[in-house]
Every structure is written in structure tokens, then in C-alpha cells.
Amino acid sequence: MTDQEQKEEDIKGPEVPPAEEGKEIGAWERLLGCTWKTPLGFFGVALTTVSITLIVLGLIGHLSGLIANHYFAIFTFLFLPAMMMFGLCLIPLACYLRRKNWFKDSLINAENLKIDLGDKHHRKGIVLFLVLSVINITILILVAYEGYHFTDSSYFCGVVCHEVMAPEYTAYKRSPHAKVSCVACHIGPGAGWYVQAKLSGLRQVKAVIAGDFSRPIPAPVEHLRPARDTCETCHWPEKFQGKRVKEFISFTNDNQTDPNIQEISLHIGGRNPVTDDFEGIHWHVSRDIKIEYQPLDEKRTKIGKVKVTRPGGVTEEYTLKDEPTEKGVTLQWRTMDCIDCHNRPTHVYDDLERVVDFGLYSKKLNPEIKGIREDSIAVLKIEYTSRDEATEKIVENLLELMAKRHGKDFVAKHEKELAGSGSFLLEAYLNNVWPAMKVTWGTYRQHLGHQNADEGYGCFRCHDDEHKTKFGKTIRQDCNMCHDEPK
């Protein structure tokens, strides 16, 4: 064969054997045949087939509970569907490129595609195409549905980004909201906030992969959805709660056996069904009242101006003199809601001394052992380099401190009891401290009450007798406004 004949043969394309004796090869047969004869088309078909097979197996494993690994779920619900769609796109692309003579064996001389329903081969092709399309769409719908629920699960939020979310997820699992999904509070109902959260999640995934994320996670959370769209889907501030008694139990290093129990009657309030007035602490979030404020720092521990709008539109503005704004903070008005007091409603971390006092009160720490409160606090205050180091040394450190205080014979005699106390301290440490994330005792504090008022947390941010209107009216620091002695 001459070179000229070889070129003509290349232009015509390869001979495709007819499906039936004496039948002319049409454009459909040539098009489908060319899909398998290009590397790109073959790769698309193979990728789609393998992805669909693995997706089906993954769905079976996930729905049956045989496989419960988060990496496997990510592979099944995120990676494989993307590969399946990519493979499906490659198949028509390969046909188009071959038809445009991008490959040596092209269809440049093929006639236009025609669908003839009177031709049984065309009918079979169309039926096959529809069946495969229905199967593919069904699989994609199933995996999208399961993937949606997986990415909205608390398990996904807490376990996939393990290093970042480990502190928050651990606190969440032992919180009053442990049965409430993360998305119920962080996203809430509606497609708009869902899309916004997922787009924000892409930025967070990038930060996790690059290791460029804040340690610890900043609080309060920026751009958190208003509490009236989330918290109040379950909680109802208008409901009258009246008074609730709360106990505060504490010990001292000199007195480990007789607890100081202080009972306070909190005026939770709500809308009084008798007077129809909104009373108590929940007055701050009454629908009849709008409270706005300007935080002077990122943590909202310093409050500048406060604006109170009462029924009828009457507004009072309280200002604080000579209080500077933290560098980098832009003054903005924020409408007060539940989160401004209940800033740790789910991710609650323990106070160091309170957790030790709880150990004494519950007898998990033997109050009869002199000095155990002081030594327990000292053990928990040690800055361990990692949680693994703490696991290895906390019990040992407690025994060493007890030995210095009482002697080795005392420790040998009470070793089992002291080891149990050390295990309690270790559990408390692992529930509250993550050195890698720079989360330690006191990193996250609550605004409820005023136990940490010296650090800027709690009610006294506003109720300080220093926020005044231009007429001299102040935001009072009157104890009886919020609580009194139980009767």
C-alpha cells in the first residue's frame, strides 16, 4: 500500500464489521463504536462503571451498618459521585473529539446522527440508553440523599475534622444538647443558610488541609445565625418560668469535708400570665423589647453603647465614658439574643476548682485525705505538652504530691484509692484540655451570672452602674433584679 493510499485509509477510519450480514453501518454504530476505541472514551466508560459499582457497595455497607468509618463515608458520598459524573462527561466528550478529528481514527466523513423509531436497532439503543440513565440517576439520588444527611450529621462535624473539632465535639457529647444535631443550632432550617454554611465549609476545609486555622477556635462564633431562628424553635422565652433555685457547692483547702452550699433563687421570668408583663432575666429577649449594644472587643467582654427600645418606639441610649475600643475592632450594633448570656449552651467546659469540688462532694476524691484538694488542683494546672503525656503522668503526679505531703508509706497504704482519684482527675483533664488546640482551663468562659466578672464575663458587662443616659439614668447593678434568697 502506497503512502497516498495509507493517508486515504486513515481519513476514512477503520472498518467496522456490520452487526448483521448485508447491513450498512450507520452513524449510531460508528459513534458508539468510537467511544470504546479512544483512550479518553475507554477511560470514561471504565471510570463510570467502577465508580457506580463502588457506590452501590458503599451504600449497602453504610445502610446496613457493616461499615461505620467516616473516611469511608467521605469516599462513598463525596469522592465516588464526583468521579462518576466526571466519567459520564468524558464519554460524550470523547465522541465529540473523535468526530472533530482529534484522534487518528475519526468520524469526519460520517453522516449526521438520525433516530429512526422504525428501526429495531435504534429502538433497542434508545431503551438501553433510558434504562442506564434511570439507573445512574437513581444511584445519584440515593447517594446525594445519604450524603446530605451524612454531611449534616454531628458525627461528620465532630469526627471528620478531628484535630480542630475534638474539643467542641467532646464537650457537645456530654452537654444538655447532646441529642440535638449540630446543624440545628449552627445552620437552622431553610435552604439559604444551608448553602451559606456549606460555602463557608469549603473555606474551613481549605484551612484544615493547609493547617492554617485558629488555635483555639475563636469565640464567639462569627456570623452565627440569630438565636430566634434556631434556639427559639425549641425554647420559648415568652413562657413564664417564674423562679428557679440553683445551688453553688464549694470547698476550701482548709475545709474539704463541710461544703459551703449557697442557694440562690433566680428570677427566670417570662410573660407573667396574671399581669401580662414580661418579667425577670428573660425580659432581655422579650419580643416587646429590643436591646442593642456595641462590643468594644472581639470576645464581647467589654460593652460600649447600649440601646433599649421599648413598646411604642421609645428608645434609651446608655454610654460608657473613656472606654477604648480594642485594636482592629469596628464598632457595630448587635441585637441581643439568647447567645449573649447563654454563650456556651452546648460546648460547656468545666471550671478547674469546681470540678475538683465536685469530686470531693461526690466522694470521687476522698475528702478525708488532707491536702487532696490543693494537690488535685496543682496536678491539673500542670502544662502537659500533650494529652498522651497527661494520660501517662497525672496519676503519677498525684501520688508524688501525696507522698511529699504524707510520706511513701501513706501512699502505699492508700495507693488504690489515690489511683482512683487520679483517674477522676485524668477524666476531668481529658474533658477540658487540648494542648495542641491551645484549649485549657478557662479558655472558654460563660456569660451566665457574674462569677468571672473580673475577667469581663457575665452580667456586669452592662449592669455596672456606669452605663448612663444623657439624663443620668444608669443600668443598675441591683442584685434583687435577677435573684434573691429562696423562701
What's the Cα-to-Cα distance from 186 to each of 125, 229, 339, 417, rounded to whole Å?
A: 49, 10, 12, 43
> In this structure, what DSSP letter does residue 434 have?
B
**Are 316 and 387 members of one domain?**
no
Q: Given strand 315-318, what is the order of strands in its sheet? A: 315-318, 303-309, 290-295, 334-335
pLDDT at residue 103 in the model: 54
Q: How far apart are CA 451 and CA 249, in angstroms?
A: 13
Q: Is residue 452 part of a domain?
A: no
Kindly give the parts of the chain with pLDDT less than 70: 1-37, 68, 70, 98-115, 162
What does the block give as the cell for 171?
464537650
**Are 334 and 379 members of one domain?**
no
Q: Is residue 121 part of a domain?
A: yes
Q: How far apart are CA 380 and CA 355, in angstroms?
A: 10
Q: Is residue 94 part of a domain?
A: yes
Residues 6+ apart with CB under 8 A from 427: none
Does the bond joining 367 to the residue before it have cis omega, within 30 degrees of 0? no
Q: How far apart are CA 302 and CA 296, in angstroms?
A: 5
**Are 27 and 49 members of one domain?**
yes
Q: How far apart are CA 365 and CA 372, in angstroms?
A: 7
Q: Is residue 459 part of a domain?
A: no
Q: Is 251 exposed, middle or buried (0-12, 13-18, 19+ CB in 10 A)?
A: buried
**Are 169 and 128 members of one domain?**
no
pLDDT at residue 394 in the model: 96
**Are 212 and 307 members of one domain?**
no
Amino acid identity at 441: W
Q: Is 151 exposed, middle or buried (0-12, 13-18, 19+ CB in 10 A)?
A: middle
Q: How far apart are CA 29 and CA 330, in angstroms?
A: 67
* Residue at which a domain ends, from 103, 129, 151: 151
Q: Is residue 255 part of a domain?
A: yes
**Are 386 and 408 members of one domain?**
yes
pLDDT at residue 101 in the model: 63
Which residues are bridge partners to 246 per DSSP? 264
Q: Is residue 222 part of a domain?
A: no
**Are 24 and 140 members of one domain?**
yes
**Are 146 and 162 members of one domain?**
no
pLDDT at residue 36 in the model: 57
Domain extent for 16? 9-151
**Are 17 and 89 members of one domain?**
yes
Residue 231 C-beta-side C-alpha neighbours within 13 Å: 19
Amino acid identity at 179: K
In the chain, how long is the greatest CA-to-CA distance? 113
**Are 137 and 204 members of one domain?**
no
Amino acid identity at 434: W
Q: Is residue 83 part of a domain?
A: yes
E strand or H helix at 293: strand 290-295
Q: How far apart are CA 481 and CA 382, in angstroms?
A: 40
Q: How far apart are CA 475 and CA 317, in angstroms?
A: 10
Which residues are bridge partners to 270 per DSSP? 279
What does the block give as the cell for 37?
476505541
pLDDT at residue 108 in the model: 44
Amino acid identity at 200: S
What's the Cα-to-Cα distance from 203 to each of 71, 206, 298, 349, rounded to whole Å?
A: 20, 5, 21, 27
pTM of the model: 0.76
Q: Is residue 2 part of a domain?
A: no
How many CB atoms sit inside 10 A of residue 408's CB? 12
Is residue 406 within 8 A of residue 400, CB to CB? The reply is no
Domain count, the chain: 4
**Are 419 and 471 members of one domain?**
no
Q: Is 317 helix (H, G, I), strand (E, B) or coil?
A: strand
* Residue at which a domain ends, from 217, 251, 269: 217
**Are 316 and 400 members of one domain?**
no
What secondary structure does DSSP assign to 335-377, as a single string?
A: E--GGGT-S-SSS----HHHHHHHHHHTTSS-TTSTTHHHHHH
pLDDT at residue 100 in the model: 63
What does the block give as the cell for 51?
465508580
Helices (H), strands (E): how many in the chain?
A: 15, 8
